[in-house]
Amino acid sequence: MRFAASVICAAVLTGIASASPLERRDCSAQIASYNLARRSARGIDVSKRSLYPTMPNQVCVLAPENQRQDWVQMNSSLVRTDITEGQPGILMLLDIGVLDITTCQPVTGAMVEVWHPNQVGDYGETFLRGAFQTGSNGIVEFKTIYPGQPADGANHVNLAVHTGSSMSSGVTHVGQAFFYDSWNHFVLMSEGYNTNSNPTVMNAVDPNYAAATSDGYNAIVDTLSIGDDWPSGIIGYITVGINPNHLVQ
């Protein structure tokens, strides 16, 4: 039963990062309208730009056990939406939606932390790190760059979600959001990224990716070009399902 459900969900789920604990709920209608609203707010012609031109008509949430517990308290001086700090790279507007999987409703005022490596794969003390609260629509958007390949796996952005709007409120999710191999490959050929000496790791061979996408979850950022002229930048969408009653930290 479980295997069959996983196969079905894997085929239909888009843009949902893993959450915890084990929970099954069909939030398909809410997620579909949520994602379409995010695109239409951008004036994006979904039939042209989206990797998923039509939203699935069924999405189920099967939360795997939490995979990553290596979160450390972020300095509250990093509460900001522009985390670039002058790091060169391809502009990325990362739109993170937080959905309560117990109600299928967007979560307002949740502090979301993100951190990721620069174009040559290095993490900084302050650059490419930041945190900010979701707005009334449950969405927070960070201005950053597309991450370069890290020393320890496939390209990803680390994220953590707090239960409340404070950096000191409990943490309900710690995870990684990945990118399509094809986009990684494309970006890694571009200036700056092409000096990254870390090995290229495909998603399929990164154990964290396998864990994050188990049980029908999708931890891949839905990526769209900004405008028609690559690489002026990209917009990435990811929805994180959380259970506010479950704390991982």
Using CB under 6 A as the criterion, which residues of the chain lie in contact with ligand NAG when the complex forms? Answer: 75, 77
Give the span between the Cα atoms of 76 and 166, in whole angstroms.
Answer: 9
Nearer to ligand NAG, 60 or 114 (CB): 114
Residue closer to ligand NAG, measured from CB, 91 or 167? 167
**Is 75 or 245 the residue whose CB approaches ligand NAG more closely?**
75
Of 46 and 79, which has the nearer Cβ to ligand NAG?
79
Does residue 60 contact residue 28 with C-beta atoms inside 8 Å?
Answer: yes
Q: How far apart are CA 219 and CA 210, in angstroms?
A: 9
Q: Which is nearer to ligand NAG, 12 or 167 (CB)?
A: 167
Least separation in angstroms between residue 125's CB and ligand NAG is 8
CB of 77 to ligand NAG, least distance (A): 4
Question: Which CB, 54 or 76, lies closer to ligand NAG?
Answer: 76
Of 179, 188, 220, the closest CA to residue 90 belongs to 188
Tell the smallest beta-carbon distance from residue 126 to ligand NAG (Å). 7
Q: Are 14 and 180 in contact (CB under 8 A)?
A: no
Please state the closest distance from residue 72 (CB atom) to ligand NAG, in A.
11
Give CA–CA dist 57/76, Å, rounded.
Answer: 40
Using a 10 angstrom Cβ sphere, with 0-12 exposed, 13-18 middle and 19 or more buried, the burial of residue 170 is middle
Could you count the other beta carbons within 10 Å of the beta carbon of residue 57? Answer: 9
Question: Rounded to the nearest whole angstrom, what is the least distance from the CB of residue 151 to ligand NAG in the complex?
Answer: 23
Per-residue 3-state assignment (H helix, E strand, C coil) for 77-107: HHECCECCCCCCCCEEEEEEEEEECCCCEEC
